[in-house]
Structure 1
Amino acid sequence: MKLDPSFIWTAFLQLLSVIPTTLYITIVSVLVGFLIGTCVALIRIYKVPVLYPVAAGYVTFIRGTPMLTHLLLIYFGLPMIIDGLAVHYGWSFRAASIPMIGFAYISFSITAGAYMSEVVRSGLLAVDKGQLEAAHAVGMTTPQALRRIVCPQALAASLPNLSNSVIGMLHGSTLAFTVSVVDINAKAQIVASTNWKFFEAYLAAALIFWGLTVLIERAAALIEKRINLYNRGGVA
């Protein structure tokens, strides 16, 4: 079997059409996961009664099980719950109305939330507790101190790990094909099935993922540089 460079380019062009799907999955899961992770991190740091063991169990379970398992549990389990509730309460809505990509959004957001909670928690713990106490001394409430003083510094400290989480979710989005979502990986398989040139198609997919990863790394570096300028007082 010989390498066909021309088909690599052909596959590359065809894969461009599904890049938005992969980016949608990544962006949604990262944003929702960051919100979940921040809430879970705060619950664990402040040991909120009742919620603390739930948050700790959530993180332990998600981090201890594969990402594909989460997707399959949501894909098969969520319809059972929704349809069961619909029958019980007489709702007209059914799980069949949920688009396939919706299961990917939900599953990957839950997965991202557990991992990002550890990133956010480590960032918050990296900030000196004395700054929070100083904020209380000048009359700030805890939410105000977190928003104005602690969180900006925690974001700067955790940004490298956050960028790694984004890259991880980008690569993890390839699992969406198991629930019939046509992302970059699934499209590569479809393109290759026309003439069995799977190596060329997956090589084109790898180049696209590599390019997207480099863009994320560059964006994270620029944001980190900007935040560090503010922290040093270099921006008026």
Structure 2
Amino acid sequence: MQLDPSFIWTAFWQLLGAIPTTLSITAVSVLAGFVIGAATAMLRMYRVPVLAQIASAYVTFIRGTPMLTHLLIIYFGLPMIIDGLAEHFGWSFRSVSIPMIGFAYISFSITAGAYMSEVVRAGILAVDRGQVEAAQSVGMTTFQSLRRIVFPQALAAALPNLANSVIGMLHGSTLAFAVSVVDINAKAQIVASTNWKFFEAYLAAALIFWGLTVLIERVAALIEKRVGAYNRGGVV
């Protein structure tokens, strides 16, 4: 077998069309996962009765099982639940109405939420407890101190881990092919199947993923720099 450099270029251009799908899966899972993770972290840190135990079990289970398993459980289990409820209550909506990418959104968001909860929790713990006590001493409520004092500093402290989570979800999005979602990696397999030049196609996919990863790292570094300058009083 000989390397075909020209096909790498050909595959590269054909794979560009799958980038929006990969980015949408990454963006939805990260944003939804951050919301889920923040809520889960707060429930655990403030030890809300019952909910804290449920949140801990959720984090433990998701972090202890593979991402692909989550996707397959959602893909096969969610339709059973939806169709069962629809039949019981007489709803017209059925699981077949859910697009395949929807299962990836739901599954990856749940997965990201568990990991994001640890990122958020670590960021909050990095904030000096004395600042919270000082905020409460001047009349701020718990919510106000969290919103004005804790969360901004926690977000700044968690930025490196958040960037790693985004990159992890970008790479994890390749698992969406298991439920027939055509992302970059799946598109590479389709392109290569026409002439069996899988090495060249996957090499082109690797270059695209590498480029996206570098872009995320650069954006994260820029945000860190801006946040650091703001905390030092260098940005008005």
TM (normalized to structure 1)?
Answer: 0.99
Partner of 1:52: 52
Within 1, Cα distance between the matches of 2:134 and 2:65? Answer: 41
Tell me how far 1:159 sits from its aligned partner.
0.4
Tell me how far 1:124 sits from its aligned partner.
0.2
What one-letter code is carried by the residue in structure 2 that aligns with 1:186? A
Partner of 1:17: 17
Partner of 1:67: 67
Q: Deviations over 1:111-146 (max 9, x none)?
A: 000000000000001101111111111111111111
Identity of aligned residues (%): 82
Within 2, Cα distance between the matches of 1:184 and 1:177? Answer: 9
Partner of 1:142: 142
Within 1, Cα distance between the matches of 2:175 and 2:221? Answer: 27
Q: Deviations over 1:75-98 (max 9, x none)?
A: 000000000000000000000000
Q: Deviations over 1:140-179 (max 9, x none)?
A: 1111111111111101111000000000000000000000
Say which is worse superposed, 193-202 or 133-142, in terms of deviation: 133-142
Q: SS of the counterpart of 2:233? A: coil
Tell me how far 1:235 sits from its aligned partner.
1.2
Within 2, Cα distance between the matches of 1:228 and 1:83? Answer: 50
What one-letter code is carried by the residue in structure 2 that aligns with 1:175? L
Partner of 2:193: 193
Q: Deviations over 1:33-77 (max 9, x none)?
A: 000000000111101111000000000000000000000000000
What one-letter code is carried by the residue in structure 2 that aligns with 1:35? V
What one-letter code is carried by the residue in structure 2 that aligns with 1:124? I
Q: Deviations over 1:15-34 (max 9, x none)?
A: 00010000000000000000
- Runs of 4+ residues over 2 Å off in structure 1: none
Within 2, Cα distance between the matches of 1:201 and 1:172? Answer: 19
Say whether 1:114 aligns with 2:114: yes
Partner of 2:104: 104
Structure 2 gap segments, 5+ residues each = none
What one-letter code is carried by the residue in structure 2 that aligns with 1:154? A
Within 2, Cα distance between the matches of 1:157 and 1:172? Answer: 24
TM (normalized to structure 2)?
Answer: 0.99
Partner of 1:162: 162
